[in-house]
Structure 1
Amino acid sequence: MSMHSPFRLGAALVLAAVLATSPVQAQKVGTTSFQFLKVMPTARATGMGDAYVTLAEGAEALFWNPAGVAAAGTHDLSATHIPYLLDTRVSSIGYATSLGGLGSVGVQIQAVDYGEIAETRTENLGFNPDGTYNPGLTGSTFGPTAFAVGVSYARRLTDRFSTGITGKYIYESLYTGSVTRNGETYDTSAGVALFDIGIQYETGFRSLALGMSVQNFGPEVAYAEEGFSAPLSFRLGIAGDLVGPAGIVSQSSQNRITAAYDLSQPNDYDQQMQFGLEYAFAETLSLRTGYKLNYDVEAFTFGAGVKTDLDPVRLNVDYSYGGMGEYLDGIHRITIGARLR
């Protein structure tokens, strides 16, 4: 088998899985379930505008492209916290480890804290005895919950080609317990198994590389009596160092400038593009920016990171900021990572 044959095989598998992201499905804007899966972790990636399918490696790759798990060190750890919109908080943690010639494995957990929400009912609408208006409040609160737990396996098939797969269980509860209406009881929670698959390919020309992934592939999710598709997404990317030890434009041992481009096709929106740049000095201090094209409110992103060696552990702290339009607060992300080499 030639060196290029694994790439063709992996590409065929990914492209076969992405048939579900047809233009017909993409017209159903905003009709997918488990929307929290679109809130991507890892501040390095989001600081580069989400252009990360090719660059993802180690524990961070668990959330972007399982093929990148093949690059894990002896022990890789990545944890991200996101104060999201409307006091919602999203947290994630991933761990990956190399098994030598057997490949690499990883586990991930994502959880959402929606806080407490005031319960309202239409039968409570009206005026209180003191003349104040009641918008339907019952005096009770409820707390929706959502989480994802996944296991990944990845392996280098050649010195240039890696492939990986993730199986994960997703659960979301929209209300505390079931709801009864007109004598019928409805379950307001849903859980389902979804899969990610991906490939990464180093072209052999300087640092130029390619990546592809399919995320959240699986069955429909049923809430009460209605079913919704999972947020399936196909992503294709290219990345390389413009400047660096293997720079495409210029070689440098101290400075690195990495450019990345992703093209993504979700099943509930039109095609989207992501552009990212990262400047790194001596692989200790990094500055990042990105742009997200064809999003409702998201556009420019910014970020920074620091790395330090505490032998045998390499620590990194990353931060990113992404605007959410004129009327919503921007999103901050903090990621702390560690690699035991």
Structure 2
Amino acid sequence: MSQSRRIIIYSVFMGILLGQSPDIPDVVSKVATSAGNYLKLETGARAIGLGGAFGAVGTGVTGVPYNPASIGFVNRMEVYFSHTEYMVGISHNVLAYGTQLTGSDYIGFHMFWLDSGPMDVTTELYPDGTGEKFNVSSKSFRFVYARSVTDRLKIGMSLNYIRDDIYTVYMQGVAYDIGSNFDTGLFGFKLGMSVTNFGPEVQYHGEGLVQIVSDTTDPDKQLHKVTKKFPLPLTFRLAVANDIIGKESAFVQSDIHRLTLAMDGIKSNDYVMYGSLGLEYGYGEFAFIRCGSHLNHDTMGMAAGGGVRVNMGGSALCVDYAFVNNSTIEPTHQFGLNFEF
């Protein structure tokens, strides 16, 4: 097939994927109708630099929250850590591990925790604080398994334990993720699909919901408040990626330069459908520059980043940086370290 024909087919295909329908007035987004919204936070410096377009290009433990099949690309063993500082002392951290059990089986874990930093406990009698401190923390711990079904298809699943702690009140539950990554063999296109945060409704419990009352028949004189149940942010993701330039590119082949285009379509049960579009340039698989954008999203905008990969014998160290612009908070910066053994 001629080079020009390949480019035409590629342009038409991407035009269909990127095409958006006209805005529909009065769309109900269902914002703030689910619990555990921290599960939708983007993690991983490489993924953030690509604007969150990581469902098809995620290769390793950093891609687990986007698509659990990503762990099926681990070679032998991989460890990842990242730390992000938000405003007023809020931070989030990621620690992940993955290993190849057999020629086709992979396991690992992905741990994420969000912390508010210390805050003052206030009451009606002490509006300036009682002298006591507390933290709001949100945690997610995923156990992941993936399998290479064929040399082109990988499937993965994860069991996710989640917990929120707000002073003396907590919420906890279990969610499930499932995903796949498929090399179509058609002009180098790769498809990623995932369903994440599937699980039962959750509600808050704890001592903070107990109220002491005098006019009750309860011998403990306690009134236990029951909170409303909320669903988790169930999210569907369809992703596509292609090496426009690269060693195995169907369009422009190069042993040194690589340019990857990635796009994700995302729909959660508490928000309108939106997209992520990202580009990654790699020079000799040593130095990388990334940029991305969030499409049809009301807060997240442009993103950028870069990284280097240093080979050390049979091991490698990857250092990545990402920046994302957000209309509601200050721009955030994230650094990530990835070790491959």
Q: TM-score, normalised by structure 2?
A: 0.82
Match of 2:123 among 121, 140, 164: 121
Q: Secondary structure at the match of 1:101?
A: coil
Partner residue in 2 for 1:197: 178
- One-letter code aligned to 2:142: G
Q: CA deviation at 1:241?
A: 0.4
Partner residue in 1 for 2:325: 323
Contact 1:206 1:246 in 2 (8 A): no
Contact 1:62 1:106 in 2 (8 A): no
Structure 1, unaligned runs of 5 or more? 1-24, 125-134, 178-187
Alpha-carbon distance in 2 for matches of 1:122, 1:199: 52
Alpha-carbon distance in 1 for matches of 2:302, 2:103: 41
Q: Secondary structure at the match of 2:48?
A: helix
Q: CA deviation at 1:96?
A: 0.6
Aligned-pair Cα RMSD in Å:
1.7
Partner residue in 2 for 1:9: none
Structure 2, unaligned runs of 5 or more? 1-26, 206-226
Contact 1:291 1:301 in 2 (8 A): yes
Kindly tell me the number of residue pairs found equivalent between the two proteins: 294
Match of 1:91 among 78, 90, 93: 93
Contact 1:122 1:136 in 2 (8 A): no
Contact 2:105 2:148 in 1 (8 A): yes
Alpha-carbon distance in 1 for matches of 2:177, 2:125: 44
Q: Secondary structure at the match of 2:64?
A: helix
Matched, 1:215 2:217: no
Moved more, 276-285 or 54-63: 54-63
Matched, 1:173 2:165: yes
Alpha-carbon distance in 1 for matches of 2:104, 2:260: 30
Partner residue in 2 for 1:308: 310
Alpha-carbon distance in 2 for matches of 1:172, 1:26: 27
* Structure 1 runs (4+) greater than 6 angstroms displaced: none
Instruction: Rate the CA distance shift 1:234–1:316 in 2: closer, same or farther, 3 A.
Output: same
Q: Secondary structure at the match of 1:100?
A: coil
Alpha-carbon distance in 2 for matches of 1:26, 1:137: 39
Alpha-carbon distance in 2 for matches of 1:259, 1:306: 19
Q: What percentage of aligned pairs have identical amino acids? A: 31
Q: Deviations over 1:164-219 (max 9, x none)?
A: 000011011112x2xxxxxxxxxx20110111100110011243100001111101
Contact 2:44 2:63 in 1 (8 A): no
Partner residue in 2 for 1:246: 248
Alpha-carbon distance in 1 for matches of 2:122, 2:230: 24
- One-letter code aligned to 2:172: G
Matched, 1:141 2:122: no
Contact 2:187 2:249 in 1 (8 A): yes
- One-letter code aligned to 1:163: I
- One-letter code aligned to 2:96: G
Partner residue in 1 for 2:49: 47
Alpha-carbon distance in 2 for matches of 1:294, 1:228: 25
Q: CA deviation at 1:328?
A: 2.3
Q: CA deviation at 1:136?
A: 5.5
Q: TM-score, normalised by structure 1?
A: 0.82
Q: Deviations over 1:66-104 (max 9, x none)?
A: 112111111011111111243211001111111123511
